Chains A and B, each alone.
Chain A
Amino acid sequence: MSSGLIYTSSLILSGKNLIYTYCRSSRLTQTFSSPPDTPLAVEMRGIVKRFPGVLANDHVDFELKAGEIHALLGENGAGKSTLMNVLAGLYRQETGTIHVHGKQVEFHSPRDAINAGIGMVHQHFMLVPSQTVTENILLGLDTPRFFMRLPEYDAKIAAMGEQFGLIVDPRAKIWQLSVGEQQRVELLKLLYRGANVLIMDEPTAVLAPQEIDGLFGILRSMVAQGKSVIFISHKLQEVTAIADRVSVLRRGVSTASGVPSRGVSRQELARLMVGRDVVFTVDKTPGKPGDVVLDVKDIHAENDKGLPALRGFSLNVRAGEIVGVAGVAGNGQSELAQVITGLRPCKQGQVTLRGEQVSNRNTLFGIQHGMAYVPEDRTRVGSAPNLSVTDNVIMKNFRLPPISHGGMLDMTAANKLANDLKLAYDIIVPNVATPVRLLSGGNLQRVILAREISGKPDFMVAVQPTRGLDVGAIEGVHQLLLAQREAGAGILLVSEELEELLSLSDRVYVIYEGKVMGEIQVGQVEPDQSLIETIGLMMTGTPLDQIRKEEVGAHG
Chain B
Amino acid sequence: MAESTTVKKKRVGYKLLVEPRLNPPPGWYPLVVSIGAIVFGLFLGGILIAFAGGDPIRSYQHIAKASFGDIGVLSDTLVKATPIMLTALACAVAFRMKLWNIGAEGQFIMGAFAASAIVLTPVLSAETPRWLFITVMILAGMAGGAFWGFIPGYLKAKLNVNEIITTLMMNYIAVAWVNFWIFGVWSEGGFQMSPKFPETAWLPRLLDYAKSLPSLRGLTTHGGILIAISVAIILWMVLNRSRWGYEIRLIGDNPQAAKYAGINIQKNIIYVMMLSGALAGLGGMSEVTGVIHRLQTSPLAAGYGFTGIIVAWLAKLNPLVIIPVSILFGALILAGREIQPSGVPKMIQGIILVSLIASDFLLRYRIRIVRVEA
Contacts and interface: CB of A to CB of B under 8 A. Distances in A.
Interface in A462-487: none
A157 B124 CA distance: 78
Contacts of A382: 257, 260
B254 A385 contact: yes
B246 interface: yes
B243 A343 contact: no
A391 B262 contact: no
Contacts of B242: 407-409
A82 to B, nearest CB: 16
A97 interface: no
B30 to A, nearest CB: 13
Contact of A373 (B246, B250, B260, B263): B260
Nearest to B263: A364
Q: Which of A364, A367, A387, A434 has the most CB of B within 10 A?
A: A387
Nearest to A380: B256
Given A381-B257, A395-B250, A395-B257, A407 B244 contact: yes
B264 A362 contact: yes
A367 B262 contact: yes
B249 A362 contact: no
A426 to B, nearest CB: 20
A273 B103 CA distance: 60
A216 interface: no
A387 B249 contact: yes
A411 B241 contact: yes
A350 B259 CA distance: 21
A364 B261 CA distance: 7
B257 A343 contact: no
B1 interface: yes
A58 B290 CA distance: 76
User: Interface residues of B toward A: which range?
Assistant: 20 to 34
B22 A438 contact: yes
B263 to A, nearest CB: 8
A134 interface: no
B188 interface: no
A451 to B, nearest CB: 10
Contact of A384 (B1, B243, B254): B254
Interface in A387-410: 387, 391, 394-396, 398-399, 404, 407-409
Given A343-B260, A362-B262, A384 B246 contact: no
Contact of B241 (A375, A383, A396, A409): A409
A386 interface: yes
A384 B24 contact: no
B253 interface: yes
B243 A381 contact: no
A385 B264 contact: no
Nearest to B21: A438
A383 B257 CA distance: 6
A363 B241 CA distance: 24
A213 to B, nearest CB: 38
Interface in B217-272: 240-246, 249-250, 253-254, 256-264
A434 B257 contact: no
A362 B260 CA distance: 10
A306 interface: no
A52 interface: yes
B4 interface: no
B23 interface: yes
Interface string A359-379: 000111111100001010000
Contacts of B250: 384, 387, 391, 395
| Residue among B22, B23, B253, B264 with most chain A CB within 10 A | B253
B135 to A, nearest CB: 23
B4 to A, nearest CB: 16
Interface in A420-443: 434-435, 438
Nearest to B254: A384
A408 B264 contact: no
A309 B349 CA distance: 53
Nearest to A405: B243
A404 B22 CA distance: 33
Contacts of A364: 262-264
B318 to A, nearest CB: 14
A395 B258 CA distance: 8
Contact of A363 (B240, B245, B262): B262
A266 to B, nearest CB: 40
Contact of A399 (B1, B243, B253, B256): B243
A438 B364 CA distance: 12
Contacts of A384: 249-250, 253-254, 257-258
A260 B259 CA distance: 50
B266 to A, nearest CB: 11
A408 B241 contact: yes
A391 B260 contact: no
Contacts of B240: 411
A380 B258 CA distance: 10
A253 B1 CA distance: 25
B262 A385 contact: no
A90 to B, nearest CB: 16
A343 B1 CA distance: 33
Contact of B1 (A52, A367, A435): A52
A554 B258 CA distance: 54
B234 to A, nearest CB: 12
A365 B262 CA distance: 8
A8 to B, nearest CB: 31
Contacts of B264: 362, 364
B254 A391 contact: no
A399 B247 CA distance: 10
B100 to A, nearest CB: 18
Nearest to A399: B243
Contacts of B241: 408-409, 411
Contacts of B22: 438
A380 B261 CA distance: 13
A363 to B, nearest CB: 4
7 contacts: A364-B262, A380-B256, A391-B249, A394-B246, A408-B241, A409-B242, A438-B22
Given A380-B256, A384-B250, A409-B241, 10 more contacts: A362-B264, A364-B264, A380-B254, A386-B253, A387-B253, A391-B249, A394-B246, A408-B241, A408-B242, A438-B23
Closest 3 CB pairs of A and B: A364-B262, A384-B253, A363-B262
